[in-house]
């Protein structure tokens, strides 16, 4: 009976994973089909009459490489800035005593409750007034959106660190800043790493703000560049699927390479010592 239950359990997991991965597999197989076989009856077949990489080669002319470069720069700048600011803010809220701390935490978290559609208009208006459109200044609103969740994640991690370790460093003569960098920060690395990865992936996949604030071809991020792979009367689905695979690979590699750190960061902040 136990053996049958175990078999059903693994079958359920396999089925669940297959349902999740199937769309990506289908997109990848479609990107290898000739353009003529993507339409009509050929669209229902998983494999084409021949394997071709013409769609990947055409990405050089479709602006996807420029989009990848812009996405990488914007995501890296935003992640670095958000991680640094969130670390200091979360430490202050979790470890220091000051008036209005609860109100500050509520205000920080409340900013993440607004739908993105509501804030796009005012942000765009201000960017136009200041002449900041089509630039890497888009990292400013990205940071505003990413910062609350990063602070919330890191507050949990800083709260779990025993206060005795911090007090011991103080007794040894370390300043608050030295204690933060030498004692607290190394112990909170799993949470910091998790917050950084979530910020990077969120910015990498963002579409609406990028389309609104950086509409010029030279400043488009990868998701926006994919949406422009179309002609006047048709969509180049071969290029779209190839570009989708290329844009997905970096985030997929990040998750696969750092899955242990991500899981450690998520679970360590949720458990009390």
List the beta strands (DSSP E) in the chain: none
What span, in angstroms and rounded, lies between the C-alpha atoms of 198 and 248? 15
Q: Can you give the pLDDT at residue 261?
A: 67
Q: Can you give the pLDDT at residue 3?
A: 66
Buried/exposed code over 113-127 (b: 16+ C-beta within 10 A; e: otherwise): eeeeeebbeebeeeb
What span, in angstroms and rounded, lies between the C-alpha atoms of 157 and 28? 38
Determine which helix (DSSP H) or strand (DSSP E) holds 87, and give its type and residue range.
helix 64-95
What span, in angstroms and rounded, lies between the C-alpha atoms of 37 and 47? 9
Confirm if 74 and 142 have CB atoms less than 8 A apart.
yes
Confirm if 189 and 157 have CB atoms less than 8 A apart.
no
Confirm if 199 and 85 have CB atoms less than 8 A apart.
no
What span, in angstroms and rounded, lies between the C-alpha atoms of 125 and 131? 10
pLDDT tens-place string over residues 124-139: 999 999 999 999 999 9
Q: And the tokens for 130? A: 């200041």
pLDDT tens-place string over residues 40-70: 666 677 777 788 888 888 887 667 888 999 9
Q: Can you give the pLDDT at residue 271?
A: 47
Confirm if 140 and 77 have CB atoms less than 8 A apart.
no
Placement of tokens 């050929």 in the chain: 42
Q: Find the length of the chain.
A: 273
Confirm if 31 and 245 have CB atoms less than 8 A apart.
yes
Q: Can you give the pLDDT at residue 62?
A: 63
Looking at domain 63-268, which CATH architecture does it have? Orthogonal Bundle (1.10)
DSSP 40: G
Low-confidence ranges of the chain (pLDDT < 50): 1, 269-273
Parse the chain into domains and list their residue ranges. Answer: 1-52, 63-268
């Amino acid at each position: 009976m136990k053996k049958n239950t175990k078999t059903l359990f693994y079958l359920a997991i396999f089925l669940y994973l297959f349902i999740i991965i199937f769309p990506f597999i289908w997109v990848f197989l479609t990107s290898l089909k000739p353009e003529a076989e993507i339409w009509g009856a050929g669209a229902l077949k998983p494999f084409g009459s021949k394997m071709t990489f013409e769609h990947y080669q055409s990405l050089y002319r479709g602006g996807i490489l420029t989009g990848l470069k812009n996405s990488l720069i914007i995501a890296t700048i935003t992640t670095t800035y958000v991680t640094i600011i969130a670390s200091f803010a979360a430490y202050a809220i979790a470890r220091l005593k000051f008036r209005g701390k609860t109100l500050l935490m509520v205000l920080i978290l409340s900013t993440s409750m607004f739908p993105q559609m509501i804030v796009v208009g005012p942000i765009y208006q201000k960017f136009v007034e200041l002449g900041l459109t089509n630039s890497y200044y888009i990292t400013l609103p990205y940071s505003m959106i990413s910062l609350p969740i990063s602070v919330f994640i890191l507050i949990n991690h800083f709260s779990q660190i025993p206060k005795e370790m911090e007090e011991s460093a103080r007794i040894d003569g370390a300043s608050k800043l030295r204690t933060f960098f030498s004692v607290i920060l190394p112990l909170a690395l799993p949470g910091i790493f998790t917050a950084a990865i979530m910020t990077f992936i969120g910015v990498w996949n963002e579409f609406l703000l990028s389309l609104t604030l950086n509409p010029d071809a030279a400043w488009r991020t990868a998701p926006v560049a994919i949406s422009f792979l179309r002609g006047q009367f048709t969509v180049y689905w071969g290029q779209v699927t190839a570009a989708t695979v290329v844009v997905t690979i970096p985030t997929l590699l990040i998750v696969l390479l750092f899955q242990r750190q991500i899981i450690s960061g998520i679970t360590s902040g949720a458990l009390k010592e």
